[in-house]
Structure formats: C-alpha cells, structure tokens
Chains A and B, each alone.
Chain A
C-alpha cells in the first residue's frame, strides 16, 4: 500500500487529494470537496497523460511551426516525444491538422500542425 498527494485541477479550489494505492490501483481518495476529485485522482495516479504543444523546424525559414499531440500522451514520455518532434524538419506547405510526426515515440499518437504555412516561393 502506498500514499500519494496531488492537487485537483477540477476547479480553482485546488483540493489537496490524499490517494491510497494498492498494487497500482486507487483504493481511496481523501480531501476532495466534490466528485471530480476522485475521478481526477484515479486517472492521474494510474495513468497520467498530457497534451503537449511544441515547435517543429521548417525548411527554408527560421520561424517555426507550432504542433500538438493529437491525443494525450503518457506523462513519462513528454521529453522523449518533444525530442523526436524537435528532430523533425517540415517542408511547406502545411495545413492545420497535417500529421508532422506519425506515432511519436511509439505512443500510437500522431503530432499534428496547429498553424498553416504557405509553400515557399
């Protein structure tokens, strides 16, 4: 059995949650002022994930391309994914939603463009 504390992000209350875990499973959540706390704690303690936004390089110009993960990725993979995205160099034109990195770091999640760049003249 182990304990973990975290701050609920459900609202500005920011309840301090005390989470009890057994064999990687949440067995109790204390300190939540409403039901959202327990839902958040279960997700966050068992499989924390995050959406990530970063930049990719663009061939032929200094200004970067903004990108995001199309779905959340495991929190532990953030830096590995960002590194893989930084190694990418994109050739314009780019449309919003274009896949820039497929299956980033084997997470099964694609990285997509969040801005448009016209073809170089």
Chain B
C-alpha cells in the first residue's frame, strides 16, 4: 500500500489543473493516474482552435492548451502514472489500480479528486430503430480515429445531433475529403454555438435540418443509408416527410454523460440532473475527502471553466489532506428554480466560504432578454441580465462571500431565469 496525500483520477484538463493547484497549495505527495498512454485527455483529439480565451487570453488548439498544463505539471516535478486503470475507490479512499507496467497496485490517499471526464451518449441511448451495421459512431470517437489514430471513418456522412462535437466533426470530415450530407437536429434549435454553426456548417454548405431526426438505419454489414423525417412539436416523426440519404457513416452528437462508475461504487451521491456527484462549495462530494471537478462533475462547454473549477478542487483537496475535515456550520440548500437546470454546487456552507462561490447551471430553454436571479430564503441577492440564454451555454454567477455570510443560517438558495 502506497500512502499519497492527494490522488487524482484522470489526466485531462481537470486532473492536470487539480494536481498543479494541490502542489501549489503545499502538498508534496500528489499522484495523478491516467488510463491513456499520454496526459491531456480529450483535448489531445480536439485539434481545432477555440480553447484558452479566458485562461490565457489566446486562441489555442486543444493539444496546445493541454501541452501548457502538461509542461507546467512536469516542471513542478509532479508525477503521473499513465496506462493505469483505476478499478475501485473505497469510501475510506483506498484506490486499487491495474497497469501493464506495475500490475495490481493499492494506494491510500488522504484526499481523492475525481476527474474522469464524461462519455458520449450512444445509439443505444437513443433507441434508433433499424439494422446494426458498422459505420455508426459517436462523433467524439470518430474524432479520435481521425485526429489521433489517422483513420478516416467514412466518405459519405450524416450527422445526428447538432452538439458542438458534431459540428466540429462536420468541418473536420469535410476538410479531410468526406462529403457531409446533412446535420440533423431533433430540436427546433441547435445545441451548438452559433460560431460553430456558421463556421462548420454554413461555410461548407452543409444543411442544418432542425426539427428532424433519423427514423431508420439501413445496411447489413456496413451502413448503406439512413431515413430521416421531420418531427412535430411533440418530437414525433411526421408521416410523408421521410427522405432516404445514402451514406456510409452516421455520427452521433447527442449529448455527454459524466463517467461516474467509480464514484457510485465509492458511495458518492449522484445528482439525477447533472449525472455528476452532489458537491458542496468546496467541491467535496457526499463522501468526506473525495472531491470532483470538470466534466465528471457536470458537462462544461469551455475548458477554461474546467481549469478554474479544478484548481479550486485541487486546493480544497490539498487543504483536506493537510487539515482533515473542517467543522461545518449549517448548509444552505441550492435549488433549481424556473428555467434553471443542474445547479452546481448543490449545498453551500456560508460559515466555511473563503471567497465568492461560483454557481453554474444551464438554462432549460432559450430565453431572450432574460435575467438570472439568485434568491436566499426568498430575498433577491444577485441579478444578472443577458440578451440571450441558451441551454448550449452554461451560466456562471459568483455569489460574493459577504452576501453568503450575511445569510448564514438560512435554508435555501434558488436561482431562476426571468424573462
């Protein structure tokens, strides 16, 4: 059994930022475990630009953004063990791993940071009828095949779902010589950024078919065609609108799910809305000494926000490793109000906050000329106006420390979108 101060599971942007912050907070026995052969996580395959505008005030590609943190990680003398799969985490923070180099290993950590990221929803989650041929991939998997492994997933492509990964892949497939026939979106609006709709679809004359979906899949060995149809406002296919599109590849960009198998087995309470751990203002889960950050906690849009959140988790984990569990005052419960989904954190202890507490959520629909309003026990404490709020862009509001201190001993904080 190896004793560790702060053990971090996952070597993507969340894990790297948490490890660096834990080290900077004075912890010297920090270990990061990564399943892949290299650090960097999903950023390694995101070769497009758009990363780092907040953290570095520069427009970087994914590998460049990751590289900066990997370099800093090594420059600080931090250690990572790649090719290492975590098999289990216990509530008293015993971590069991397996790797080709070291075989089975056991660690005991004073604090654990969960930074495993998220997974893509697959065809199985959508229940699309039809045959089960080769050629149907989650968009991020196709991105990996193409950008990291050097395989071309197909030549005639239909994309189901207009999440950002799907939009980015529409452009990537086009630039590498494929023909992208359409991007098909069930909802009446795209869940991706406007910039991506314009620069990944419009630039290449790829139609975005809103209120459409795939209703059948054809082909026995390899995908041969999909049938698409328009849907009504109940999202039911409209008879008579079916079209058959001959294609060899169907990419799915239909949502991401935090990867919490290890967290659940450790007894960590999971939110039914974010699908990530329930956390307090220090990003500590329901199991003392286990913290969570990045996409395993809730799916982010911007890696910059992941970095900022994970630095806080790393600092808090370091503090826990050094000082143990702090005495807690009473918790304020954080509750989603109208128009708000998936607030993180779910509880705030006013007596323990050392700084303002960021609240993050997604609007439940598109709202124009709206305001996000924070109330504590019914009293309005913060209001942020916005010309537009969409489910595709996470909203981040920082509740100042003195506001929380003034309301110590209250029961409930709500956030609502008013329009």
Asked if B182 is at the interface (CB within 8 A of a chain A CB), the reply is no
**Interface pair B193/A12, CB less than 8 Å apart:** yes
**Interface pair A12/B194, CB less than 8 Å apart:** yes
Asked if B67 is at the interface (CB within 8 A of a chain A CB), the reply is yes
A contact residues around B61 at 8 Å (CB): 53, 66, 68, 114
- Considering only residues 47-75 of chain A, those with a C-beta below 8 Å from chain B are 50-55, 62-64, 66, 68, 75
Q: A11-B388, A33-B387, A54-B175 are in contact. Are A96 and B49 (CB under 8 A)?
A: no
**Interface pair B150/A63, CB less than 8 Å apart:** yes
Asked if A28 is at the interface (CB within 8 A of a chain B CB), the reply is no
Q: Which of B61, B149, B388 has the most CB of A within 10 A?
A: B61
* Chain A residue at smallest Cβ distance from B366: A12
Q: A53-B61, A68-B49 are in contact. Are A115 and B67 (CB under 8 A)?
A: yes
A contact residues around B194 at 8 Å (CB): 7-9, 11-14
CA distance A50 to B200 in the complex (A): 11
**Interface pair B150/A64, CB less than 8 Å apart:** yes
B contact residues around A51 at 8 Å (CB): 49, 59
**Interface pair B149/A63, CB less than 8 Å apart:** yes
Asked if A116 is at the interface (CB within 8 A of a chain B CB), the reply is yes
Q: A7-B202, A64-B147 are in contact. Are A13 and B388 (CB under 8 A)?
A: yes
Total count of chain A residues near the partner, CB < 8 A? 29
Asked if A82 is at the interface (CB within 8 A of a chain B CB), the reply is yes
**Interface pair B392/A12, CB less than 8 Å apart:** yes
What per-residue 1/0 map shows which CB atoms of A1-19 lie under 8 Å from chain B?
Answer: 0000011110111100000
**Interface pair A66/B199, CB less than 8 Å apart:** no
Q: A12-B193, A50-B199, A55-B176 are in contact. Are A66 and B59 (CB under 8 A)?
A: no
**Interface pair A12/B388, CB less than 8 Å apart:** yes
Say how far A12's CB is from chain B's closest CB, in angstroms.
5
Say how far B205's CB is from chain A's closest CB, in angstroms.
12
Asked if B154 is at the interface (CB within 8 A of a chain A CB), the reply is no
A contact residues around B193 at 8 Å (CB): 12
- Considering only residues 65-121 of chain A, those with a C-beta below 8 Å from chain B are 66, 68, 75, 78-79, 82, 96, 114-116
CA distance A14 to B189 in the complex (A): 11
Say how far B12's CB is from chain A's closest CB, in angstroms.
15
Say how far B408's CB is from chain A's closest CB, in angstroms.
36
Of A6, A12, A78, A96, which is within 8 A of B64 by CB?
A96
CA distance A9 to B390 in the complex (A): 15
**Interface pair A53/B48, CB less than 8 Å apart:** yes
CA distance A51 to B49 in the complex (A): 8
Of B47, B146, B176, B198, which is within 8 A of A114 by CB?
B47
A contact residues around B175 at 8 Å (CB): 52, 54, 78-79, 82
A contact residues around B221 at 8 Å (CB): none
Asked if B86 is at the interface (CB within 8 A of a chain A CB), the reply is no
CA distance A66 to B22 in the complex (A): 31
CA distance A44 to B45 in the complex (A): 29
Asked if B233 is at the interface (CB within 8 A of a chain A CB), the reply is no
**Interface pair B393/A54, CB less than 8 Å apart:** no
Of B47, B67, B199, B387, which is within 8 A of A96 by CB?
B67
Say how far A53's CB is from chain B's closest CB, in angstroms.
5
CA distance A33 to B412 in the complex (A): 37
7 closest residue pairs by CB, A with B: A66-B47, A14-B194, A9-B195, A115-B63, A114-B61, A62-B150, A64-B150
A: which residues have CB within 8 A of B? 6-9, 11-14, 33-34, 50-55, 62-64, 66, 68, 75, 78-79, 82, 96, 114-116
A-B contact pairs, 25 of them (CB 8 A): A6-B198, A7-B194, A9-B195, A9-B199, A11-B387, A13-B387, A13-B388, A33-B387, A34-B387, A50-B199, A51-B49, A54-B47, A54-B175, A55-B47, A55-B146, A55-B147, A55-B150, A63-B149, A64-B150, A68-B47, A96-B63, A96-B67, A115-B63, A115-B64, A115-B67
* Besides the known contacts A53-B61, A55-B47, 9 further A-B residue pairs in the complex with CB atoms under 8 A apart: A51-B49, A51-B59, A63-B148, A66-B147, A68-B47, A68-B61, A75-B203, A78-B203, A82-B175
